[in-house]
A and B are shown apart, each in its own frame.
Chain A
């Protein structure tokens, strides 16, 4: 036995409508300042999960709306490159988002009240976290479970974990490092670019990394 086991959870969210909508950038900033942290979290992390089967140009709803509804591509690009791995709190993510928009509007004031083709509806979510029946004690169990667990579980442990725990890591890497002392594997999983892969691709990458780890254990000099 190699330390504490890994308990797999899964989360589902119910989308709550706030009744607030923005028709232009000026209104978007006002609402970004007063909306709940849960709304920011939803539009940056959770709605992305709902489209996990495809790589969209922007993972964030804000960038996506600015691109498709306002056709303001330079601003969408700036918001689009915000890397969620650089933030450990919703507050800092909110502040950076607002700062980028405000700086842009200051530079191009004529666009601040231009109407979008469709409004941006602010939503937020309520998450329900459920324990699954899957528990991993060893790397072999972990490999088996990663191969068959629901995609929501991978999102929960790999992506939602960063803001939940306030750390620059994820649940998988944390456990691999802390309980199994697998530093290299933990780092490889931390290094996955979550924007350029669907969650199914990420699952396959994790499986491959674990296989590599198990192979190197059998052949330590190879």
Chain B
């Protein structure tokens, strides 16, 4: 777990923000909270909880973190459910459903439910809600996935569980569905003190660019994403070529291979073919432990792209905006929540639009700079971990006052 303290965020968010967190936490000091998810290490949810749980404890709110246990067959089932919620049409055999239920119930038998609030992250531990009657706790389902267009069979199965919670939390209005329970907007967050987002020495940025053989002789356009067709790396190269007719620049495509994607290598080959050996296109394969390198590549860039065809929330946009970089992003997934058009960046709908916006920002560096500055302020306001803590504190108060629209503490 993280050893970072709340006070470490004060130089970034200001004392007023921390003061308000302490004020909100005051009435919650005796509340016990449990977070449940499916993995302790790796993945965005574990990363968030590893920071969030100690900070909530520091605020005087006893918070536990439990990881659901299961064998390979259980996680095969949960992966299927995850993909189905994302919209993949799947076959979910009854034996798989039985394994999912049996393992969840086995976990439940060994769980301490003597809590005031239980937050279930994603569908893996969702069956825990079967124990709702055994405790007076409020139950919350935090859904990190876009469930706007799920496989209907799997959704019907899960909906029976979702409807029993006291509330559900979604990352974007686009990701939610109509439900019988209250739903709240919980943007994901970035940690400004993490390796991926913390300040870097200019010398380190230079070293990283040198290591990847990227000269800084012309503007650098960068997309950080795994090599996946849904991130449209080939489209990014096409946009770069359209720009290059007018303005000289370099393109950096950096990311990992999706380990669970058998097409990963095929996509990289497609990207290399499209690059046609252009020395100004830098294709960089990064191992999963490359947070500092990603940070440096973003900071060393002139413009950041996120030209996805489909996207989850797309937190790479927040990461880039935090570094005061102008961002051009597709209007998909959670990207429109992060880019206020023409203010914190540009929203685009095509390769041509992407190329035009790159040209525009390269020829108007003052506007690009202003966008980056506004973007930084917007991320500070809405997408930092301190904002997430505030949302959780507010949620606990709201669930303690059901039906009230204005709660006076």
| A interacts with B | yes
- The verdict on A150 contacting B343 (CB below 8 Å), with A19-B176, A53-B374 known, is no
- Residues from chain A with a CB closer than 8 A to the CB of B184 are 14-17
Out of B20, B331, B374, B408, name the residue touching A54 (CB < 8 Å): B374
Q: Are A131 and B409 in contact (CB under 8 A)?
A: yes
Out of A14, A54, A118, A123, name the residue touching B395 (CB < 8 Å): A14
Q: Mark A130-162, 1 if CB is under 8 A from B, else 0.
A: 111000000000000000111110000000000
A12 within 8 A of B: yes
- Residues from chain A with a CB closer than 8 A to the CB of B374 are 53-54
- Residues from chain B with a CB closer than 8 A to the CB of A148 are 16
Q: How far is the CA of A124 from the CA of B407 in the complex (A)?
A: 14
B179 within 8 A of A: yes
- Closest Cβ of chain B to A169, distance in Å, is 20
Q: Are A128 and B16 in contact (CB under 8 A)?
A: no
Q: Mark B370-406, 1 if CB is under 8 A from A, else 0.
A: 0000100110011000000011001101100000111
- Residues from chain B with a CB closer than 8 A to the CB of A149 are 16
A113 within 8 A of B: no
- The verdict on A152 contacting B20 (CB below 8 Å), with A16-B183, A19-B177, A51-B340 known, is yes
A129 within 8 A of B: yes
Q: Are B176 and A126 in contact (CB under 8 A)?
A: no
Q: Are B381 and A132 in contact (CB under 8 A)?
A: no
- Closest Cβ of chain A to B338, distance in Å, is 12
- Closest Cβ of chain A to B399, distance in Å, is 10
Q: Are A17 and B390 in contact (CB under 8 A)?
A: no
- The verdict on A16 contacting B182 (CB below 8 Å), with A129-B408, A149-B16 known, is yes
Out of B173, B336, B340, B378, name the residue touching A21 (CB < 8 Å): B173
B178 within 8 A of A: yes
Q: Are A126 and B398 in contact (CB under 8 A)?
A: yes
- The verdict on A17 contacting B16 (CB below 8 Å), with A129-B406, A129-B408 known, is no
B19 within 8 A of A: yes
Q: How far is the CA of A56 from the CA of B16 in the complex (A)?
A: 25
B39 within 8 A of A: no
- The verdict on A12 contacting B16 (CB below 8 Å), with A53-B377, A126-B398, A129-B409 known, is no
- Closest Cβ of chain B to A65, distance in Å, is 11
- Residues from chain A with a CB closer than 8 A to the CB of B16 are 148-151
- Residues from chain A with a CB closer than 8 A to the CB of B336 are 118
Q: Are A54 and B179 in contact (CB under 8 A)?
A: no
- Residues from chain B with a CB closer than 8 A to the CB of A10 are 20, 23
What size tier do the contact residues of chain B reach?
A: 35 or more
- Residues from chain B with a CB closer than 8 A to the CB of A50 are 381-382
- The verdict on A130 contacting B409 (CB below 8 Å), with A16-B184, A19-B179 known, is yes
- Residues from chain A with a CB closer than 8 A to the CB of B343 are 54, 56
Out of B178, B185, B405, B407, name the residue touching A15 (CB < 8 Å): B185
A68 within 8 A of B: yes
- Residues from chain B with a CB closer than 8 A to the CB of A121 are 173-174
Q: How far is the CA of A51 from the CA of B340 in the complex (A)?
A: 10
- Closest Cβ of chain B to A199, distance in Å, is 11
Q: Mark A71-83, 1 if CB is under 8 A from B, else 0.
A: 0000000000000
Q: Are B407 and A127 in contact (CB under 8 A)?
A: yes
- Residues from chain A with a CB closer than 8 A to the CB of B382 are 50
- Residues from chain A with a CB closer than 8 A to the CB of B405 are 38, 124-127
- Residues from chain B with a CB closer than 8 A to the CB of A12 are 20, 24, 390, 394
15 contacts between A and B (CB under 8 A): A12-B20, A15-B184, A15-B185, A17-B170, A19-B176, A19-B177, A38-B405, A50-B381, A54-B377, A119-B174, A123-B185, A130-B23, A148-B16, A149-B16, A150-B17
- Hey, which bits of chain B sit against chain A, CB under 8 A? 16-17, 19-20, 23-24, 170, 173-174, 176-179, 182-185, 331, 336, 340-341, 343, 349, 374, 377-378, 381-382, 390-391, 394-395, 397-398, 404-409
- Nearest first, the 7 A-B pairs at minimum CB distance are A121-B173, A19-B178, A150-B16, A15-B185, A53-B377, A17-B183, A14-B394
